[in-house]
Amino acid sequence: MVTIQDTELKEGIQEAIERAKVLSKPVLVSEVQKINHIDPLSFYAAGKSRFFGERFFWKDPSGETYIIGLGVCKQIQSDQSAGRFNSVEKEWKRFIDESIVFNPYDNKAIGPVMFGGFSFDPLKEKTKLWSKYSDSLFHVPTFMYSEVKGQAFLTTNVVCTQHDDLSLFEKVGVERGAVLDSIENDLPQQGNVLLKEVDINPEKWMNTVEAIVEELKTGSLKKVVLARESRLVFEKRIEIERVLSNLMELQRESFIFAFESNGDCFIGASPERLIKKYGESVFTTCLAGSIPRGKTEEDDHILGDALLSDQKNLTEHQYVVDMIKEAMEESCTEVELPDKPQLMKMRDIQHLYTPVIGKTRDDASLLALVDRLHPTPALGGLPKKEAVEKIREVEELDRGFYAAPLGWVDFKGNGEYAVAIRSGLIQGNEASIFAGCGVVQDSNAESEYQETKIKFRPMLTALGGNK
């Protein structure tokens, strides 16, 4: 049981209603309180009955930051394609500038935070798979639990209109009390059975890989990332909490995320950071080039060493390094990166990995950096524009939010975006899972196909389809 003593929320609501009258538009009041630790997954689960379809979950790979949101007090979305990063940022800034924030703490990821993401390619023809997600979609939660370096905070966000009155304060208090009272530490155990697993057109996908390899040998394109889908049908509705719990247990080194919208849930465990910005410091990652894990420790070392000296994978990786380095040098005063990749080992796969750090020039915003980086050649290809056009033309899959930036930004401009790979879209008792790989001149369709099979594994296992 968590007891909350409200201090400023009531006064804040009063003030926000007055401000809403003057501005003739809704005004946010945000209050941050330090609370005792709550299990992040239990907080998420506590919102199930009241806020299903309006929740999000985020954990960074270090486990330093957890952000869990329940309810949506403000939605920011944009269906425009050109300038969508900028238009989301502008709307967010305007919203924050007019808001009233009570927050005596200096931590990141507390107070008003918007969580969400962007589709991979807004110009790709839409299918009904992603009908619940617009091309840019962000939620500011009503209640948000943040755990930052072991300290726990609860943020309450209330949007007040000129027609509201102080009864809003009572209403929010009752709702928050109900959420906190329904926190239970044990997740219900529920078995589910995988009835059907359909790989969508694998032969056609391999033919496309072969055709692209031929194109890469002659034209100006150097790399194209091609992805595919597998569709799973279960006996019962998929329990998002259970999938998250499995991901937390099995993919500890990854970003773990869930983003619900209108009853669907985009979920995954990505090893890939697109960009993190804390103050002026920025961190990004070049991640491309893959090999399986070994069955024994010795095997694993042999495979890792083979990856570190494999020319096809080194080329695939280097394209990403070159592009990210150029983008960072444009936006930063200092950029540091090692001159050779190292290994990143996850449960199911190992990758070539080059971390990059920098200091932003003229305080470039996080979303401006996302705009500059997305998609890196780890998800799009090289040259960027031609590769994205090629994917739009030849790929059967509607990527939606797969392979695109997903993450958060707080009201001070700090935040982090992952590249949403190793992910899937849950729709009731069905799920689509996605995986792709970097196709270069030396690619072989069969081995790229095997690579996508390994990349399906984190989600397949978490869903209960592959023990």
Ligand X SMILES: C=C(O[C@H]1C=CC=C(C(=O)O)[C@@H]1O)C(=O)O
Numbered residues of the known binding site: 316, 451
Give dist(CA 416, CA 70) in Å, integer.
19
**DSSP H or E stretch at residue 66:** strand 65-70
Give dist(CA 130, CA 108) in Å, integer.
31
121 near 77, Cβ under 8 Å? no
Residue 236 designated active-site? no
Binding window for ligand X (CB under 6 A); candidates: 145-153, 158-166, 354-362, 431-439: 431-439
Q: Which of 272, 395, 416, 448 is labelled catalytic?
A: 272
Binding window for ligand X (CB under 6 A); candidates: 77-85, 105-113, 244-252, 432-440: 432-440
- Decide if residue 288 touches ligand X (CB under 6 A): yes
Site string for Mg ion, 8-37 (x = CB under 5 A): ------------------------------
- Decide if residue 379 touches ligand X (CB under 6 A): yes
In the complex, least distance from residue 437 CB atom to ligand X, rounded to whole angstroms? 4
Taking CB within 5 to 8 Å according to partner kind, which of ligand X, Mg ion, none is near residue 422?
Answer: ligand X
Which of 461, 446, 464, 439 has its CA nearest to residue 346? Answer: 461
91 near 81, Cβ under 8 Å? no
Query: In 3-state terms, the chain is what percent helix, strand and coil (to 5)?
Result: 35, 35, 35
Give dist(CA 319, CA 204) in Å, integer.
26
Which of 198, 253, 212, 199 has its CA nearest to residue 393? Answer: 212
- Decide if residue 438 touches Mg ion (CB under 5 A): yes
Binding window for ligand X (CB under 6 A); candidates: 6-14, 15-23, 84-92, 282-290: 282-290
- Decide if residue 437 touches Mg ion (CB under 5 A): yes
Q: Which of 223, 276, 390, 455 is labelled catalytic?
A: 223
Query: What b/e string do you get for 399-436 counting C-beta neighbours within 10 Å, with b at 16 or more?
Result: bbbbbbbbbbbbbbbbbbbbbbbbbbbbbeeebbbbbb
Residue with the closest Cβ to Mg ion? 437
Residue 272 designated active-site? yes
In the complex, least distance from residue 422 CB atom to ligand X, rounded to whole angstroms? 5
- Decide if residue 61 touches ligand X (CB under 6 A): no
CB-hemisphere CA count at 13 Å for 388?
Answer: 15
Q: Which of residues 227-246 bind ligand X (CB under 6 A)?
A: 227
Token output for 303: 């495979």
Q: Give the footprint of Mg ion on this chain (CB under 5 A).
A: 290, 437-438
Q: Give the footprint of ligand X on this chain (CB under 6 A).
A: 225, 227, 272, 287-290, 351, 378-379, 403, 421-422, 435-438, 455
Task: Provide the annotated active-site residues.
Answer: 223, 272
